[in-house]
């Protein structure tokens, strides 16, 4: 049998384990050789699965449920102690968008999640676009209930810090938690880390970024003591396009004027004051700074500056707008929000032209209808291109040419910068997560590479679940 090299990529590579000769093991949980045993001394085997999903955000938790519902034995790895990704770790709201003119564009498990959350009193659906305002704590609870009911094994408080690959096939991922380092083997892996961490560690080629331009990071926070019954907030807190633009224009204009007159304040976006379903409280999205979230020193420093900005803006709001005169920072999000970082170079890259013209691919597996929404990395501006028709996403944007058992979903799929600026929203990420989960289970059931699965069969399953394709 052909000898290929297995490589262990650990954040801090463990000396002596870098290159090992073993037999290939496509779609198999069988790294039971001497070298595998050596690695397990450092990182004992915690579980062997059909599908391992890395990252429990909108893409990841839906992917895990989808794979499990197609009969796969599934694990989900999440570095925080709860699920939801940017919705719960970034206080990003609302979930955008499921519909166009009251017609669902993204259906199936993502919509089932919304309806379940609504039945728990945790979601308010803003028709006609079906932006979803939500209660952050009930979102976490609803996620975990649906994940557990699907029979998925949960590894929370676990950061994925490495992977072991043979050729281009990923054998296992290494996680770090209170137990130390642990190994999880699987036949197929789905990278839903937002930043494409697993793909990056496995040396998957990424989209080029020649201009070194990234959308800025924003640190969202909850302001309480806000007069949410006021006319101003009632106009600004909704995103249905009926009450007016969701960006709070009166506040924006006054802040821009103050800035032009020399009042010292950082750059800001919006502001957006998002409904969290609790009287007196809003989730505020207005801070912004350019950063690279994949560079730890850079991101840590930016987050400290953004935290200062939160309190600077709170003071400004308090002193200049009567609706905010009693407000206070009730909570800052567990982390600053990330709009853009790594994206894989997939078999197909979704381009802005395809996206805006709603090009329908043979292997379309999901949709998107949010505007292309590019926030300037510096300054207060934002470019928006509204879509007339819902766009499509091909299965080929979730896979690479060479890696037989890796799928990605969510923010790190293969798109150009413009298409990402729409597809990054949470309903769209759930849509690609649903497709990736279903595809992973299908690859396992048929012992096929992810590149070889029957996409007509995949689309059939997604439609049965309610996807609008």
Residues of this chain that bind ligand FAD (CB under 6 A): 54-60, 77-80, 85-86, 89-90, 92, 94-96, 159-160, 192-195, 197, 218, 220, 285, 337-339, 410-411, 424-426, 429
Which CB sits closer to ligand FAD, 85 or 346?
85
**Shortest reach from residue 24's CB to ligand FAD, in Å:** 26
**Shortest reach from residue 356's CB to ligand FAD, in Å:** 19
Which CB sits closer to ligand FAD, 78 or 185?
78
**Shortest reach from residue 462's CB to ligand FAD, in Å:** 18
**Shortest reach from residue 272's CB to ligand FAD, in Å:** 7
Peptide bond into 128 cis (omega under 30): yes
Contact 410, 432 (CB under 8 A): yes
Burial class (CB in 10 A: 0-12, 13-18, 19+), 229: exposed
Within 10 angstroms of residue 308's Cβ, the number of other Cβ atoms is 12
**Shortest reach from residue 32's CB to ligand FAD, in Å:** 25
**Shortest reach from residue 410's CB to ligand FAD, in Å:** 2
**Shortest reach from residue 54's CB to ligand FAD, in Å:** 6
**Cα 429 from Cα 56, distance rounded (Å):** 12
Which CB sits closer to ligand FAD, 7 or 424?
424
Which CB sits closer to ligand FAD, 25 or 217?
217
Which CB sits closer to ligand FAD, 90 or 437?
90
**Cα 169 from Cα 171, distance rounded (Å):** 6
Which CB sits closer to ligand FAD, 332 or 448?
332
Which CB sits closer to ligand FAD, 323 or 340?
340
**Shortest reach from residue 220's CB to ligand FAD, in Å:** 6
**Shortest reach from residue 275's CB to ligand FAD, in Å:** 11
Which CB sits closer to ligand FAD, 68 or 427?
427
Which CB sits closer to ligand FAD, 390 or 449?
390
Which CB sits closer to ligand FAD, 91 or 321?
91
**Shortest reach from residue 89's CB to ligand FAD, in Å:** 5
């Amino acid at each position: 049998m052909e000898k290929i090299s297995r490589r262990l990529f650990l954040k801090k590579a463990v000396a002596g384990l870098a290159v090992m000769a073993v037999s290939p093991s496509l779609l198999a949980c069988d790294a039971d050789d001497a070298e595998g045993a050596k690695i397990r001394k450092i990182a004992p085997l915690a579980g062997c699965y059909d599908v391992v999903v890395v990252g429990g955000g909108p893409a990841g938790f839906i992917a895990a449920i989808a794979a499990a519902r197609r009969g796969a034995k599934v694990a989900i790895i999440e570095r925080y102690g709860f699920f939801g990704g940017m919705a719960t770790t970034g206080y990003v709201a609302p979930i955008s968008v499921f519909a166009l003119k009251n017609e669902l564009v993204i259906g199936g498990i993502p919509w089932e999640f919304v309806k379940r959350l609504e039945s728990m009193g945790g979601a308010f659906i803003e028709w006609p676009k079906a932006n979803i305002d939500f209660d952050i704590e009930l979102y976490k609870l609803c996620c975990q209930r649906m994940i557990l009911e699907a029979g998925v094994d949960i590894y929370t408080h676990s950061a994925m810090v490495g992977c072991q690959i043979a050729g281009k096939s990923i054998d296992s991922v290494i996680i770090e938690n209170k137990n130390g380092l642990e190994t999880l083997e699987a036949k197929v892996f789905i990278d839903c880390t937002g930043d494409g961490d697993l793909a990056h560690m496995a040396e998957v080629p990424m989209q080029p970024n020649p201009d070194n331009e990234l959308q800025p990071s924003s640190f969202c926070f909850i302001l309480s003591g806000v007069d949410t019954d006021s006319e101003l907030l009632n106009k600004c807190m909704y995103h249905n396009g009926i009450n007016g633009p969701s960006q709070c224009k009166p506040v924006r204009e006054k802040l821009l004027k103050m800035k032009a007159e020399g009042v010292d304040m950082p750059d800001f976006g919006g502001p957006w004051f998002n409904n969290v379903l609790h009287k007196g409280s809003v989730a505020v999205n207005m801070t912004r700074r350019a950063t690279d979230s994949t560079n730890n020193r850079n991101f840590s420093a930016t987050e400290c500056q953004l935290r200062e900005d939160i309190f600077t803006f709170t003071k400004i709001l308090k002193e200049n707008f009567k609706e905010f005169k009693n407000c206070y920072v009730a909570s800052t999000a567990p982390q600053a929000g990330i709009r853009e970082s790594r994206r894989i170079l997939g078999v197909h890259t979704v381009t802005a032209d395809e996206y805006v013209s709603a090009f329908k691919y043979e292997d379309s597996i999901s949709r998107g209808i949010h505007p292309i929404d590019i926030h300037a990395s510096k300054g207060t501006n934002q470019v928006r291109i509204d879509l007339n028709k819902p766009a499509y996403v091909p299965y080929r944007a979730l896979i690479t040419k060479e890696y037989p058992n890796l799928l990605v979903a969510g923010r790190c799929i293969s798109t150009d910068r413009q298409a990402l600026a729409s597809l990054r929203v949470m309903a769209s990420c759930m849509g690609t997560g649903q497709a990736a989960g279903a595809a992973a289970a299908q690859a396992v059931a048929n012992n096929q590479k992810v590149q070889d699965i029957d996409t007509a069969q995949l689309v059939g399953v997604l439609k049965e679940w309610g996807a609008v394709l």
